[in-house]
Amino acid sequence: MRKISIGIIGFGNIGCGVVKILQQRKSLLAQKIGVDIVIKKICDKDISTKRDVTVDKSLLSRDVNEIINDPQIDIIVELIGGINPAKEFILAALKKGKHVVTANKALLAECGNELFSEAAERGKNIYFEASVGAGIPIIKSLKEGLVANKFSSIFGIVNGTSNYVLSQMSKEGCSFANAINQAKLKGFAEKDPTLDIEGIDSAHKLVLLTYLTYGRIVKMKDIFIEGISRISSSDIAYAKELGYEIKLLAIAKKEVDELEVRVHPTFLPVNHLLSSVDGVFNAIYVSSDLAGELMFYGPGAGQLPAASAVVSDIVDLTQDIKAGLFKPTLNSIQDSSIKSLRQIDEFENKYYIRISVVDKPGVLAKISGILAKFGISIASVTQKEKLKAQVVPVVMVTHEVKEKNLRSALKMIDRLGEIKEKSVAIRIEGV
Ligand code: HSE
């Protein structure tokens, strides 16, 4: 049987998972794919700490060059994360004629163009199934299963930490701070969860999903990103009353000949499939013209789910190598009906708005006057009971409104003497 050798860079949690799967499923994989996958070297800065998998000591090295310069290694598996030195390692490996598997969404989102171009020039492939949704086979589904489709939108719950926090707030009624603490205690959130909570991790994944659906790598700076740290328990409660759940969504959406790319907390109707995705689970909801509406759902993180995806990439590459195939990683055919990225000011959405006002006659009239001035039509309005002395929340749902008009109106409203807190506005989707 043909042997294909791999080198693993990064012997952390996912790296150990990959080794475990390749050890435990070695004969099953060989029977299925007709290739014996051989781990030739595993490189990590720390090779002394005991891992939850046993490997022959001779496989371990601190020197990445033992992988990059080994002509017998056909595939490198990069699992160290971060931009540098992962980028240098991948570029060096491509230059040495190796294919690449990576789970590194931040690197691909920031430097994808450069890495994919280098790979294309060398006739090598970069596969990255584990970078979005861990074990959920969303990358392969978009690249292969849905290859003939055009997409009107893709909505992703792609950050388990944020989804856990929002689910706890919604299901258990706890505060944002309390939910974050629980997430940390359960090991779902990093010590510093900023990247997850502020939507950056979701945006990294959105770059990859947008690439696979619309054929373009958008820059992080072109994605509108808003995290969940301003979501309060009261917004969650009002959302429920109005028939919605709040989810942090990564959205790529075609609007006529423009593309919107954005990450933000979103009101979704309770009966939308994504509303039932709770806890650390991820789901990607794809609207396609041929296959219709599809949802991909599963654990979005974890050693074995992520390692399962990495192994599927390794297997794909063994088949490419056997067949002498170069499959450009980029779905480099752009959707030509998209002329440009839509600027944030031009986004149009329905909105939930919460305004904290002093409870006295005429305030509502002033607010609705300002909304009318900016052409904002109100679908419903409720004034809630007093929370603090004299201050009451007014909760509104608008019809479709242009972002710039909404922002201008809220700015003016927040300047009124009767407004006691910065107003909250959350976009509504799925209706
Ligand atoms: N930090 C991510 C999350 C998992 O919370 O979903 C890795 O992509």
pLDDT digits (tens, 9 = 90+) for 285-307: 999 999 999 999 999 999 999 99
Q: Is any atom of ligand 1 closer than 6 Å to the C-beta of 154? A: no
- Same domain? For 176 and 53 the reply is no
- Same domain? For 60 and 122 the reply is yes
Q: Which of 13, 107, 139, 159 most suits a substitution to test ligand 1, by most atoms within 8 Å of the C-beta?
A: 159
- The whole-number pLDDT of residue 83 equals 97
Residue 235 has pLDDT above 60, yes or no: yes
Distance in Å, CA 202 to ligand 1 centroid: 8
Residue 274 has pLDDT above 60, yes or no: yes
In a domain, 334, yes or no: no
Residue nearest (by alpha carbon) to ligand 1 atom 2:
159
Q: What's the mean pLDDT when you consider all of the chain?
A: 95
- Which of 6, 22, 2, 68 shows the shortest CA–CA distance to 304? 22
Q: State what percent of residues in the chain have pLDDT above 70.
A: 97
- Same domain? For 318 and 352 the reply is no
- Same domain? For 161 and 275 the reply is yes
CATH, residue 398: 3.30.70.260
| Reported confidence tier of residue 336, pLDDT bands at 50, 70, 90 | confident
Residue 359 has pLDDT above 90, yes or no: no
In a domain, 339, yes or no: no
- The whole-number pLDDT of residue 328 equals 64
Q: Is any atom of ligand 1 closer than 6 Å to the C-beta of 198? A: no
| Reported confidence tier of residue 334, pLDDT bands at 50, 70, 90 | confident
Domain-ending residue, one of 269, 290, 323 = 323
- Same domain? For 64 and 199 the reply is no
| Reported confidence tier of residue 417, pLDDT bands at 50, 70, 90 | very high
- The whole-number pLDDT of residue 97 equals 96
- Same domain? For 196 and 225 the reply is yes
- Same domain? For 26 and 41 the reply is yes
- Same domain? For 165 and 289 the reply is yes
Q: What is the mean pLDDT of residues 317-342?
A: 80
CATH, residue 154: 3.30.360.10
| Reported confidence tier of residue 383, pLDDT bands at 50, 70, 90 | confident
- The whole-number pLDDT of residue 151 equals 96
In a domain, 331, yes or no: no
Domain-ending residue, one of 274, 290, 323 = 323
Task: Tell me the C-alpha distance between 77 and 12, whole Å.
Answer: 12
Distance in Å, CA 4 to ligand 1 centroid: 31
Could you identify the atom of ligand 1 that is nearest to the CA of residue 280?
6
State how many domains the chain has.
3
Could you identify the atom of ligand 1 that is nearest to the CA of residue 300?
6
Residue 237 has pLDDT above 60, yes or no: yes
Q: Is any atom of ligand 1 closer than 6 Å to the C-beta of 15? A: no
Residue nearest (by alpha carbon) to ligand 1 atom 4:
301
In a domain, 182, yes or no: yes
CATH, residue 127: 3.40.50.720
Distance in Å, CA 152 to ligand 1 centroid: 26
In a domain, 332, yes or no: no
| Sequence-separated (6 or more) residues with CB below 8 Å from residue 172 | 179
In a domain, 337, yes or no: no
pTM: 0.95
- Same domain? For 400 and 379 the reply is yes
- Same domain? For 273 and 315 the reply is no
Q: What is the mean pLDDT of residues 262-278?
A: 98
In a domain, 328, yes or no: no
**Looking at the annotation, which residues are catalytic?**
205
| Reported confidence tier of residue 387, pLDDT bands at 50, 70, 90 | low
Q: Is any atom of ligand 1 closer than 6 Å to the C-beta of 161? A: yes
- Same domain? For 314 and 276 the reply is no
pLDDT digits (tens, 9 = 90+) for 172-205: 999 999 999 999 999 888 899 999 999 999 999 9
- The whole-number pLDDT of residue 253 equals 97
Which structural domain, as residue segments, surrounds residue 385? 346-428
Q: State what percent of residues in the chain have pLDDT above 90.
A: 90
In a domain, 152, yes or no: yes
- Same domain? For 282 and 391 the reply is no
